[in-house]
Amino acid sequence: MYTGILCSVCPVKMTKPALSYFVYENLFRSRDVDWLVSAPEMGFLFPAFDDRSTNLYGALYYTKDTSHSHTAFTDRIFAAPLPMPAEAQKETFDAILTEALGEECSCQVVQSVQEQLCSMIAEHKESGEPQPLLLDKHAAARVLEECGVEDARVEAFERRFEEDFGPEAALPPKNLVDTKHLELRCPDVTIQVNPERGDLVETRVIDGVRYILIRAEEGVQVNGVEVQIGE
């Protein structure tokens, strides 16, 4: 038997004026403006339900907008710091990767990191393992090592990971990468690539100018018009 408290915080909003059809009277009338309960903005379940049992030392917290944690509410209810939101985890991870790798933070390395994390997520999903997949600083460092990053850069990454996330932090890889998109962005150009075809993109310096090169074999379109690429 599991007994818990489920709390949903739902905003109450006034409906907009509208025209309704009353079937039995065969008439159209203006619908009365009234107050309706909207979908939950946040809520919590206490105690948490972990491993098919009650966890009195935890609670499940929900927020509709992951970029807004409603800290004023959570501070009063839980009196404990919340985990970093998924969006903030990705932004922090990206910043750590950029600063720790420095000049080694190339397009190829970032693509390789993304591919390895996506592969880990896919393998874990296929395995059916009930425990969630988590990535700590050591596992993240091994990913960088496999991508060919030099030891000094890997150590710098581990230090920043611990400083920003905490010494015992373990993050879900799905919060750190976009498994559905591979995006390359410049001030005036944005390129989206199928994550499984990152091999089509490379960076190169030609005559002192840096370029992003995309191998275009067939089916090239510009605003819906098929174009030909000459020799």
Bond before 173 cis per omega within 30 degrees: no
User: Residue 22 and residue 15: Cα distance in Å, rounded?
Assistant: 18
User: Residue 72 and residue 74: Cα distance in Å, rounded?
Assistant: 6
Per-residue tokens: 171: 């993050």
**Model pLDDT for residues 109-149, shown as the tens digit of each residue:** 888 888 888 888 888 888 888 788 888 888 888 888 888 88
- Model confidence at 99, pLDDT cuts 50, 70, 90, reads confident
**Cβ neighbours of residue 165 closer than 8 Å, sequence gap 6 or more:** 84, 89, 92, 137, 171
**Model pLDDT for residues 49-84, shown as the tens digit of each residue:** 877 788 888 888 888 877 677 878 888 888 777 778
